[in-house]
Amino acid sequence: MGLEIVNTKDGSKSVFSKVFDASYHSWYGAVTESKYVFIENGLLYRHMQGADQIKILEVGYGTGLDAILSGIYALENDLEVIYSGIDKYEFPRELMDELNYAGFFDAKYQDFIKNINNVQYDTAIKLHEKFTLIKSLCSLKDVSLRQSYDVIFFDAFSPRQVPYMWTLEVFKKMYEALNPGGVLVTFCAQGQFRRDLKEAGFEVEALPGAPGKREMTRGSKKFE
């Protein structure tokens, strides 16, 4: 895939894809962006509504950083998280070692993070009593989403790089996959994307963006 390890401003590493001409995370900070967009405005937001178990779907599993952050959150907050990540492309195991996310976080999480990185595809693995991970190597259009999720991390490359991932049809599928009260969060703030979210049924919020970006988006599914 023409992948190159790059440094970001918060000291964490990311990956630049020459094929998609895009970085997997913000240059302003890979961990900073993922924590803000997906954990604070997605997982934490849903947790604060009173859930004691949260099912997460990540579209665009990539380096596994969002899964790592979610796992750490689960352990620190005594919250059961069942995490499903899908990606069309397998991320090279050797590059996970080079990213060294295990060395970026507190030493007590090193083995836990390494175990996340070692999980094989298409197998549900309970890595801790509070965290289960299922990774699937597949295209979104081909996968059948049987579970009902509480949070969707929509972390695909941008609409410019992969326009086929940002369509009304896709967001209707995302809406159907959410439990009532569930949310979809993403770094994207594009106007057409937000209009498609609304047409798919979501209530759409424009939120302040992570460092370097003006806005991000959260879509919610109403309680019935």
CA distance 169 to 36: 27
Residue 1: the pLDDT is 62
Task: Kindly report the average pLDDT of the chain as a whole number.
Answer: 94
* pTM exceeding 0.85: yes
Give Cβ neighbours of residue 120 (< 8 Å, ≥ 6 apart): 135
pLDDT greater than 90 at residue 52: no
Residue 51: the pLDDT is 85
Which whole number is the average pLDDT over 51-74?
96
CA distance 149 to 141: 17
Q: Locate the DSSP E strands across 88-165.
A: 124-128, 131-137, 149-154
Confidence of residue 145 (pLDDT cuts 50, 70, 90): confident
Residue 134: the pLDDT is 95
Which whole number is the average pLDDT over 111-125?
92
pLDDT greater than 70 at residue 18: yes
Which whole number is the average pLDDT over 97-113?
93
pLDDT greater than 80 at residue 139: yes
pLDDT greater than 80 at residue 81: yes
SS3 11: coil
Instruction: Tell me how crowded residue 33 is: count the other CB atoms within 10 A of its CB.
Output: 25
Q: Quote the percentage of the chain above a pLDDT of 90.
A: 87
Number of DSSP helices (H) and strands (E) in the chain, helices first: 8, 11
pLDDT single digits (tens) 189-224:
999 999 999 999 999 999 999 999 999 999 999 876
Structural domains of the chain, with CATH: 28-220 (3.40.50.150)
pLDDT greater than 70 at residue 184: yes
